[in-house]
């Protein structure tokens, strides 16, 4: 005769079984509601018209360094907090300002994938407008870099799926490195320790260069040394139609900084290139890093030729590509 199990006990067993299972992960919609480098600013629009609010807007609308014309890092769209509805939750980049006397000090916090995926949200709180403006000025590079890096990583995800196999093979053969560049960059020319790949389009030509040189006993990748080495490689490998035409760096418009990317120290350089004795020119961005395993410095660079066109998206696309460079010790 089977024992009679009380219904309440069965209910308890059922709850226990359910609680032991892993809860299903909440699926986030892929971010498709905003274009690349769009930034949604949630703030009191009347406050944004004040002196402190103007300071914040100037930071968010700051220009990219190293372009021949002024182009802002982001296209900023502002809405009042009450207007933040499902319509805006699909933005990839969101920054929310909250000014209230209940806060004792200005603070900065970051969240990811709260409403969509991939998504980066910055929450800035402050007791008054002055402290908010001061915090934004103090953290302006962090704020700009954070959203830029998020955009570049999104682009890199795409590059690891669809890339120029020809360029990847050549970079592997010549430098024993991996590099993922846009698929349409597939015209390759090589020289001594130098590779140049181009999309060969007439109106907006995208280019990637990789070159290396021996590491000295006390390597110091300074701005002056970088320009000298770059000009040496470009004069030898990228020439115009005439014998006296060659690529060179415009020394008056070069911006460099040292930064950490994926655990590596490298020098970032941005600026303008020009074709000597010709009318061609445009922006470039490069990353120089030390390959300690092979005692050399490797430079990955992207440069654009797109006369009379905006170049932000082009240079950012190339920047995402050259950031994918994997040194032999990384693989």
Tell me: do 209 and 81 sit in the same domain. Answer: no
Residue 189 lies in a domain: yes
The answer to whether residues 284 and 195 belong to one domain is yes
Mention every residue, 6+ apart, whose C-beta is less than 8 A from residue 208.
Answer: 167, 179, 181, 185, 195, 196, 197, 198, 300, 301, 302, 318, 321, 322
Check residue 24 and give its pLDDT.
Answer: 39
Other C-beta atoms lying within 10 Å of the C-beta of residue 128? 14
Which of 186-200, 205-219, 239-253 is predicted least confidently?
Answer: 205-219
**Residues 47, 123: one domain?**
yes
Residue 6 lies in a domain: no
Task: Summarize the confidence of residues 61-66 as an average pLDDT.
Answer: 96
Q: What's the rounded mean pLDDT across residues 198-214? A: 92
- Give the chain's mean pLDDT: 89
CA–chain centroid gap for 217, Å, is 32
Percentage of the chain beyond pLDDT 90 is 79
**153 and 72, same domain (yes or no):** yes
Residue bearing the bigger pLDDT, 213 or 33? 213
Q: H-type helices in the chain, by residue range?
A: 7-20, 51-60, 129-138, 140-159, 165-175, 223-237, 312-322
Domain boundary among 94, 123, 157: 157
Residue 14 has pLDDT above 60, yes or no: no
Tell me whether residue 2 is in a domain. Answer: no
Q: What CATH number does residue 189 fall under?
A: 3.40.1000.10
Say if residue 11's pLDDT is above 50. Answer: no
Which among 133, 157, 181 is the end of a domain? 157
Which CATH number goes with the domain that contains 102? 3.30.379
Over residues 95-135, the pLDDT tens digits come to 999 999 999 999 999 999 999 999 999 999 999 999 999 99
Does residue 216 sit in the same domain as residue 107? no
The structure's pTM equals 0.87
| Confidence (pLDDT) at 331 | 56
| Residue where one domain finishes, among candidates 157, 177, 198 | 157
What the block records as the tokens of 304 is 């654009």
Q: What is the pLDDT of residues 156-171, one digit of tens each?
A: 999 999 999 999 999 9
Q: What is the pLDDT of residue 25?
A: 46
Q: Are residues 129 and 275 in the same domain?
A: no
Residue 285 is part of which domain span?
164-330
Q: Could you give the percent of the chain with pLDDT greater than 70?
A: 88
In a domain? residue 26: no
Secondary structure class of 13 (helix, strand, coil): helix
Give yes or no for residue 17 having a pLDDT over 70.
Answer: no
State residue 218's pLDDT score.
66
| Same domain for 171 and 93 | no
**151/52 same-domain check:** yes
Instruction: Establish if 76 belongs to a structural domain.
Output: yes
Q: pLDDT value at position 3?
A: 41
| 44 and 177 belong to one structural domain | no
Tell whether 197 is covered by a domain.
Answer: yes
Peptide bond into 118 cis (omega under 30): yes
- Same-domain pairing of 79 and 222: no
The 3 state secondary structure assigned to 65-103 is CCCCCCCECCEEEEECHHHCCHHHCCCCEEEEEEECCCC
Confidence at residue 309, expressed as pLDDT on a 0 to 100 scale = 94
Q: Does position 303 have pLDDT exceeding 50, yes or no? A: yes
Same domain, 238 and 306: yes
Strand ranges, E, within 146-305: 187-191, 194-198, 205-214, 247-261, 264-275, 281-291, 296-305
Task: Report the alpha-carbon distance of residue 285 to residue 207 in Å, rounded.
Answer: 11
Same-domain pairing of 151 and 190: no
**256 assigned to some structural domain:** yes
pLDDT at 263: 80
pLDDT band of 43, cuts 50, 70, 90:
very high
In a domain? residue 127: yes
Domain count across the chain:
2
- CA atoms lying within 13 Å on the CB side of residue 195: 26
Which residues, in sequence order, are CB contacts of 132 under 8 Å at separation 6+? 52, 56, 97, 99, 106, 124, 126
């Amino acid at each position: 005769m089977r024992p009679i199990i009380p219904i309440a006990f069965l209910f308890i067993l059922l709850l226990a079984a359910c609680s032991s299972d892993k809860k299903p992960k909440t699926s986030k919609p892929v971010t498709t509601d905003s274009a690349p480098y769009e930034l949604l600013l949630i703030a009191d629009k009347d406050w944004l018209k004040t002196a402190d609010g103007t300071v914040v807007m100037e930071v968010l609308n700051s220009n990219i360094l190293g372009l021949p014309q002024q182009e802002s890092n982001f296209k900023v769209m502002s809405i009042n907090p009450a207007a933040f509805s499902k319509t805006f939750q699909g933005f990839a980049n969101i920054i929310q300002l909250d000014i209230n006397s209940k806060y004792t000090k200005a603070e900065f916090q970051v969240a990811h994938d709260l409403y969509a995926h991939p998504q980066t949200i910055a929450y800035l709180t402050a007791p008054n407008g002055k402290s908010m403006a001061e915090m934004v000025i103090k953290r302006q590079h962090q704020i700009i870099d954070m959203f830029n890096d998020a955009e570049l990583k999104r682009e890199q995800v795409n590059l690891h799926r669809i890339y120029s196999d020809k360029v990847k093979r050549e970079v592997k053969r010549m430098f024993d490195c991996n590099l993922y560049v846009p698929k349409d960059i597939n015209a390759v020319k090589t020289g001594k320790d130098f590779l140049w790949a181009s999309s060969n389009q007439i109106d907006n030509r995208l280019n990637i260069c990789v070159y290396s040189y021996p590491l000295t006993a006390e390597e110091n990748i300074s701005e002056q040394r970088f320009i000298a080495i770059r000009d040496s490689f470009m004069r030898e490998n990228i020439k115009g139609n005439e014998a006296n035409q060659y690529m060179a760096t415009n020394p008056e418009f070069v911006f460099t900084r040292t930064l950490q990317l994926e655990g590596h120290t490298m020098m970032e350089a941005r600026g303008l290139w020009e074709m000597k004795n010709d009318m061609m020119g445009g922006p470039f961005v490069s990353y120089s890093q030390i390959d300690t395993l092979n005692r050399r410095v490797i430079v990955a660079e992207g440069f654009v030729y797109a006369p009379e066109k905006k170049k932000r998206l082009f240079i950012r696309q190339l920047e995402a590509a050259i950031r994918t460079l994997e040194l032999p010790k990384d693989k």
